[in-house]
Amino acid sequence: MNPLHLLIDGQLVAGDLDMDVINPATEALLCKSPRASKRQLDAAIAAAKKAFPGWRATPMASRAALLEQVAQRLETNVDELARLLTQEQGKPLADARGEVLGSALYFRHFSKAELPVRVIEHSDSRHVEAHRLPLGVVAAIVPWNFPLILMAFKLPAALVAGNTVVLKPAATTPLTTLRFGELVADLFPPGVLNIITDANDLGAAITAHPDVRKVSFTGSTETGKRVMAGAADTLKRLTLELGGNDAAIVLDDVDVKAVAGRVFKAGFANSGQVCIAIKRLYVQDGVYDAVCDELARLANEVVVGDGLAPDTQYGPLQNKAQYEKVKGFIEDARHSGNIIAGGSTQAGPGYFIRPTVVRDITEGSRLVDEEQFGPILPVIRFTDPDDAVARANNSPYGLGSSIWSSNPQRAYRLAEMMDAGTVWVNKHRELAPGIPFGGCKFSGVGTELGERGLEEFTQLKVINIAA
């Protein structure tokens, strides 16, 4: 693998430091990644600040046209990026290709964005307009489960709105983002896009930096709290997409086989390492046993292995810390529930855990009350749907949820009662660039995607003129 570089002020540069990147399927060293020093972080922020006036003055149509070129670069280099993503993150190659192409879709969506002046009032007494202006330097901090697509939740909206950006990928998955930076570096004026990496040691400096006007962060709730605290002194704008413990409620009128298959995919995609994966499955009495049996059958049949192998359906956990955490959940589940599929690691190297289904479990256990972020799903029995909603809502999290029923009216009534930023009906985990996404309670602050997500990268300015 050729050495990769940071992107600072339009230049591809070596890191002052370096760090190991481990392939989670083999536990072998994949490569040495460049790692930015505090000096290089400050240089990236300074470059973004210097570039802001010129980028802000660039017509929005011209900024948008560059996003279309980014989308084309992603599509042209999909094979290279997908292979690199699989090697550092672990997901199957087909899923990695989908992530690269999905990222292109998000850039292309925002290449068509507009921020028109909106007339609030035009009357005999006043003329009032609402303008949307860029904020300045935006820090975009991305986690390790979806390094590219979650970058694409932030970067195109921030750039098209006229902000300059310092982008920081996760310490365990920096490579695909760095290669992306190399591929698009020539498209932007120097300083408009900067990419630095760290070993989880520069986050506090970013959130406290006086020249950063907004932080867009995706990650754990506990880290999100630290981001919010660090941003307080400078009153930064924040978008925080944080942890979730998504509940799905399956009613007794469903087609068990069809629903179980979709629920399985929504719970175990990316080996459960998805913020909006189904993490608690509530199933009504009448179909409880049948749903459990079908989920167990599906779990026992899947192929778990190296994401580069053509038959692999589910890859490893991304890093050793998460692997050990999920093993702890499994051990706890042996005492609080009944493991009917999985529950085991695989022999040999790699952070592999088979999809695990746990029945006869309820609230009060770690697996139900906490976010596991791995391939282990608790299946909880209920009798009364209203009671299931109350139990699902009794959580500090509120990112996503879903209702499954053959009766749309019955499902809609329950969906209205759920405490979550998104409630799906007869599906789960569906996102699109034009649909706003955000959580409530401990699952986040603010919104990404859609018109509302774009506006969160802007400052509202009202011009109020006397008649």
| Catalytic residue IDs | 241, 275
Q: Are 167 and 151 in contact (CB under 8 A)?
A: yes
Length of the chain counted residue by residue = 467
Give dist(CA 347, CA 398) in Å, integer: 37
Q: Quick one: how far is CA 182 from the chain centroid? A: 22
Q: Quick one: how far is CA 41 from the chain centroid? A: 23
Give dist(CA 86, CA 94) in Å, integer: 9
Tokens of 4: 């990769």
Q: Are 210 and 232 in contact (CB under 8 A)?
A: no
